[in-house]
């Protein structure tokens, strides 16, 4: 797989996620980058220094943004030129971050604007805060996603961390829950990257993914099931589907059944046959609803020799209208019809040409023979164009 597929971790949560990817065999086929304002978080991500960027180091001093999204935006914007150089050879960008705090919430929009400038297709993979965290964090995450990311990213996948509670007992330690979330998102980022970059046995590509995710705002559950082929000599399709359904960020088989759309992606080594791929995907497809739109993909890569991984993205659309990007609504000058003579309907303001208002009772200010208390258009005899002289 091409190294031009880039997974970029932004902020503290993103760095924790990418640390789960770094050093694994599957990471050999992608380029990993990390950007943060917190020096300690960045150093712990496990990437070489050449693939890390401490944003606004002189200003922030490596201390992070303290949850301030505005400072996060400024810090990442300060590094635009450096980030452009980091992404210069990127052909596809997966941006991984956790919403609700400072660096990622403020900086994600900047990263996407750079991707747009460089014409890099992109997919944003986000985690939403736990409901038990501060409500302000969840509100911030929702606002950033709703008002900024949906309008600029090619595709947004927002994963609520609370889905972990569907498969984890209430006594699960919070630290373990966070680690599980990071691991699942890391596996998801790798699975999506490999699916989009590797040669498909069954047709699915980035265009199909973005077509689904750009229709309307959505929240997604995601499941990743992996098996070792040596440990499962028979019934491998059923085994990997069972592992998928137990995935903590999916939220159970009901998520597949109730979803508006489901993307199923199977990854295997060179030994994966077309028949085995079809059988496995058909087994998984039986859990989807009758009205669910299903997109399937199966890919092979040397990094997955001896393993089989099935990923399911369960998409629930909101009831709102289709997402409209600002660029799609803009019209070029050639698209705007010119007004015709006699048909202009411009609002007119009533200007009293003789009234100076409060200046009437003061000593006139005269310069070069002009009374500066009078409106400029009157002093200089300028007629107002009411729109009737358009071609």
Q: Where are the alpha helices (DSSP H) in the chain?
A: 11-21, 39-43, 57-60, 69-77, 80-86, 103-117, 135-144, 150-152, 174-197, 206-213, 236-245, 253-258, 274-285, 326-329, 376-379
What are the residue ranges of CATH 3.40.50.1440 in the chain? 1-197, 215-330
Q: What is the DSSP letter of 38?
A: B
Task: For residues 20 and 10, give the distance between their C-alpha atoms in angstroms, rounded to a whole number.
Answer: 14
* pLDDT confidence band for 39 (50 / 70 / 90): very high
* pLDDT confidence band for 365 (50 / 70 / 90): low
- pLDDT above 90: residue 132: no
- pLDDT above 60: residue 325: no
Strand partners, 51: none
Task: For residues 181 and 130, give the distance between their C-alpha atoms in angstroms, rounded to a whole number.
Answer: 11
Task: For residues 49 and 252, give the distance between their C-alpha atoms in angstroms, rounded to a whole number.
Answer: 40
The 218-228 sheet, strands edge to edge = 200-202, 293-300, 261-268, 307-317, 218-228
Among 80-84, 103-107, 265-269, 337-341, which stretch is predicted with the lowest mean pLDDT? 337-341
Q: Is 264 helix (H, G, I), strand (E, B) or coil?
A: strand
What pLDDT, on a 0 to 100 scale, did the predictor assign at position 358?
Answer: 46
The angle at the Cα of 105, spanning 99 to 111, to the nearest 5 degrees, equals 115
Tokens of 109: 């929009």
What pLDDT, on a 0 to 100 scale, did the predictor assign at position 346?
Answer: 47
Pairing assessment for the beta strands 370-371 and 366-367 based on DSSP bridges: antiparallel
246-293: pLDDT as tens digits: 887 787 888 899 998 888 888 888 888 888 888 899 999 999 999 898
- Do 2 and 31 touch, CB atoms closer than 8 A? no
What pLDDT, on a 0 to 100 scale, did the predictor assign at position 49?
Answer: 92
* pLDDT confidence band for 76 (50 / 70 / 90): very high
Among 73-87, 275-289, 295-309, 356-370, which stretch is predicted with the lowest mean pLDDT? 356-370
Identify which of 156-165, 215-224, 264-273 has the greatest average pLDDT. 264-273
Choose which CATH entry (3.40.630.30, 3.20.20.70, 3.40.50.1440, 1.10.150.120) describes domain 215-330: 3.40.50.1440
pTM (2 d.p.): 0.71
* pLDDT confidence band for 342 (50 / 70 / 90): very low
What pLDDT, on a 0 to 100 scale, did the predictor assign at position 222?
Answer: 81
Provide CB contacts within 8 A for 303, sequence distance 6+. Answer: 1, 25, 26, 28, 29, 194, 269
Domain boundaries 1-197, corresponding CATH code: 3.40.50.1440
What pLDDT, on a 0 to 100 scale, did the predictor assign at position 261?
Answer: 87
Strand partners, 124: 95, 156
């Amino acid at each position: 797989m091409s190294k031009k597929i880039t997974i970029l971790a932004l902020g503290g949560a993103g760095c924790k996620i990418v640390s789960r990817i770094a050093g694994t065999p599957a990471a050999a086929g992608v380029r990993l980058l990390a950007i943060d304002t917190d020096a300690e978080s960045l150093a712990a991500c496990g990437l070489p220094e050449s693939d890390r960027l401490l944003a606004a180091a002189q200003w922030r001093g490596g201390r992070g943004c303290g949850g301030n999204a505005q400072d996060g935006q400024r810090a990442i914007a300060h590094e635009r030129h450096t980030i452009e150089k980091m992404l210069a050879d990127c052909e596809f960008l997966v941006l991984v971050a956790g919403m609700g705090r400072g660096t990622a919430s403020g900086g994600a929009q900047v990263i996407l604007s750079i991707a747009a400038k460089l014409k890099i297709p992109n997919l944003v993979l986000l985690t939403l805060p736990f409901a038990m965290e501060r409500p302000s964090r969840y509100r911030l995450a929702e606002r950033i996603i709703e008002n900024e990311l949906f309008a600029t990213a090619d595709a947004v996948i927002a994963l609520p961390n609370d889905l972990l509670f569907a498969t984890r007992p209430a006594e699960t330690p919070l630290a373990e829950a966070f680690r599980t979330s990071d691991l699942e998102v890391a596996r998801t980022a790798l699975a999506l990257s490999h699916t989009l970059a590797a040669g498909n046995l069954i047709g699915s590509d980035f265009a199909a993914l973005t077509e689904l995710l750009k229709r309307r705002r959505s929240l997604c559950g995601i499941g990743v099931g992996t098996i070792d082929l040596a440990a499962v000599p028979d019934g491998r399709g059923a085994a990997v589907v069972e592992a998928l359904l137990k995935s903590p960020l999916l939220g159970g088989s009901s998520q597949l059944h109730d979803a508006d759309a489901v993307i199923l992606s199977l990854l295997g080594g060179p030994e994966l046959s077309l028949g085995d791929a079809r059988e496995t995907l058909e087994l998984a497809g039986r859990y989807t609803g009758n009205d669910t739109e299903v997109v399937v993909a199966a890919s092979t890569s040397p990094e997955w020799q001896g393993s089989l991984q099935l990923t399911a993205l369960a998409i629930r659309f909101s009831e709102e209208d289709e997402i409209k990007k600002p660029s799609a609504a803009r019209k070029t000058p050639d698209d705007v019809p010119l007004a015709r003579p006699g048909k202009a309907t411009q609002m007119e303001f009533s200007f009293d040409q003789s009234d100076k208002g409060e200046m009437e009772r003061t000593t006139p200010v005269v310069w070069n023979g002009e009374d500066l208390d009078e409106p400029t258009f009157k002093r200089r005899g300028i007629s107002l164009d009411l729109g009737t002289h358009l071609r």
